[in-house]
Amino acid sequence: MSLYRRFRDGIGREIRLELSLVFFMLALFMLVEAATQVFWVNPPDVLRQLHLLVNDYVVWFWFLGGLLLLIAGWYVFDSVRKRREFRHLIDTTSKQKMLRNRERLELLAFILPRAYEIRLQKKLAELEVK
């Protein structure tokens, strides 16, 4: 099994939202750093030291920061949307609705962290769905 699949199916599945948020914050930092370096004429000493570290790579900070912001932002949005959809679909007392939405619930439970699989199994057992 490839390293990517092991990460995706293992810890990557569990911390997808958290990891996306970390990369989103990193992208914001990169863009703010690049913007302050370009547009702030007389920055404080702390920022000036940071600007010296980034100095020649400011264009890369713009490019990678923007790209990372889009990608990480999409993963944050997608993770939150899937969690909401799962909560909406599983919040039912009707066995018929559960059977109708079972395939989508199983797919979401497979994508989301394992706690969602456990929650789905408990709900299926509670409604006596086989």
* DSSP assignment of 61-76: HHHHHHHHHHHHHHHH
Predicted TM-score (pTM) of the model is 0.79
Integer Cα distance of 52 and 38 in angstroms: 12
- Asked if residue 54 lies in contact with residue 37, where contact means CB atoms within 8 angstroms, the answer is yes
Q: Name the pLDDT band for 5 (thresholds 50, 70, 90).
A: low
Q: Residues 41-87: pLDDT tens digits?
A: 777 777 777 777 777 888 888 999 999 999 999 999 999 999 999 99
Which residue do the tokens 């900070």 mark?
61
Tell me the percentage of the chain whose pLDDT exceeds 90. 52
- Asked if residue 79 lies in contact with residue 16, where contact means CB atoms within 8 angstroms, the answer is yes
